[in-house]
Amino acid sequence: MAAAAGQLTMADEGSRESSSDREGDELPVLFPGLVSADSCCRLVCELLKHVLYQRQQLPLPYQQLAFFSRTDSGLADSSTLPHSRRNEQNNCKKFQRVLSELNEIFQNLEAMFMLTLVPCVHILLGGSIVNPKEMYEINMERIVFGSTEESLKTVSCIRKLFHTLFVKDIFNELKSIPLMNTVLLVQGHRDCGVQWFRPKLNYRIPNRTRKLVINLACDTVNFTSTEQPTSYNHDDYIWFQAPITIKGFH
């Protein structure tokens, strides 16, 4: 990874709010080993899918949307979607549109994680970037990165993440919300060379919104001194915004 190759250090703690100083809930997720950048990317993608469904921005989970959008007949023959043929076709088009947009985001997230370390991702729902209705932060500053061979399997990382989410039962405590727009912001090295994501130099972490901070970390008790969370220089990292806004639909 081009920008990740250099030594990075999180020296400027004072220049950004710590998670404990922000309003909202925190969810620590501790992995019992090294985690690869690929796994972190998958975790972000799965969390985005989960947030969209749990916050009623998608009528079905991502995998079911993919299944029902494959063919028009798949929708028409399904007893789980008792709509008229026209509504079925309209639903299919909506499914295909949002799946296409999400897949484009996922593909470019993979490219982003290849080009730079990604210490943080924000999922913003509703309102504006300055003042969203809800914010979900995925903080990866305490992740200890390893190669694919020496790291935990991606599926075990996903299982650990969602087990923690379900135990805390955070989403079931939230009130229903109307359809809103969802925006993704990703933090990366300013010189990473990413083309698809747009630099958002004036972005500031919202401080008056409903927040959930998911702190991903690795248990470093049995790690060597070279296997510690990667630190980074805050001044070298900026926010990038996905050029696609996901629009919720029923």
User: 39 φ, ψ to 5°?
Assistant: -65, -40
Contacts of 100 (CB under 8 A, 6+ apart): none
69 or 104, which is more confident?
104
- H or E, element range at 141: strand 134-142
Dist. CA 228–CA 226, nearest whole Å: 6
- In whole angstroms, what is the distance from residue 143 CA to residue 161 CA? 13
Residues contacting 40, CB < 8 A, separation 6+: 113, 118, 140, 143, 145, 216
CB within 8 A of 35, min separation 6: which ones? Answer: 143, 144, 145, 146, 151, 152, 157, 216, 218
* Distance between CA atoms of residues 61 and 65, nearest Å: 6
- The 10s digit of each residue's pLDDT in 38-51 is 999 999 999 999 99
Per-residue confidence (pLDDT) for residue 3, from 0 to 100:
43
CA dihedral 35, 36, 38, 39 (to 10 degrees): -10
pLDDT in tens, 41-85: 999 999 999 999 999 999 989 988 888 776 554 444 455 545 456
> What would you measure as the largest C-alpha separation in the chain, in angstroms?
63
User: 39 exposed, middle or buried (CB, 10 Å; 0-12, 13-18, 19+)?
Assistant: buried
Q: Is 56 left (phi over 0), alpha (psi -120 to 50) or beta?
A: left
pLDDT value at 35 more than 60 = yes
C-alpha distances in angstroms, 189 versus 185, 195, 200, 227? 13, 13, 12, 21
DSSP calls for 27-46: EEEEESS-B-HHHHHHHHHH
Tens-place pLDDT, residues 210-220: 999 999 999 87
Q: Over range 223-237, report the average pLDDT.
A: 75
What is the per-residue pLDDT across 169-207, written as a single tens digit (0 to 9) for each?
Answer: 888 777 888 999 999 999 999 999 999 999 999 999 988
pLDDT of residue 86: 62
| Residues 180 and 57: beta-carbon distance below 8 Å | yes
pLDDT of residue 224: 65
pLDDT of 6 higher than 80: no
| Lowest mean pLDDT across 3-12, 149-158, 201-210, 213-222 | 3-12
pLDDT at 4 over 50: no
User: How many beta carbons lie within 10 A of that of residue 99, not counting itself?
Assistant: 17
Tell me how crowded residue 33 is: count the other CB atoms within 10 A of its CB. Answer: 17
Q: Output the pLDDT for position 171.
A: 82
pLDDT at 198: 97
pTM (global) more than 0.85? no
Residue 73: per-residue pLDDT: 44
**Band of residue 230 on the pLDDT scale cut at 50, 70, 90:** confident
Q: What are phi and psi of 194, to 5 degrees?
A: -65, 140
Percentage with pLDDT > 70 across the chain: 78
Kindly report, residue by residue over 14-33, the tens digit of the pLDDT.
334 433 334 568 999 999 99
More confident site: 245 or 76: 245
Q: Hey, what domains does the chain have and what are their CATH numbers?
A: 3-57+116-247 (3.30.900.20)
Q: What is the pLDDT of residue 13?
A: 37
CB 55 within 8 Å of CB 81: no
Residues 152-177 have a mean pLDDT of 89
Report the distance separating Cα 89 and Cα 101, nearest Å.
18
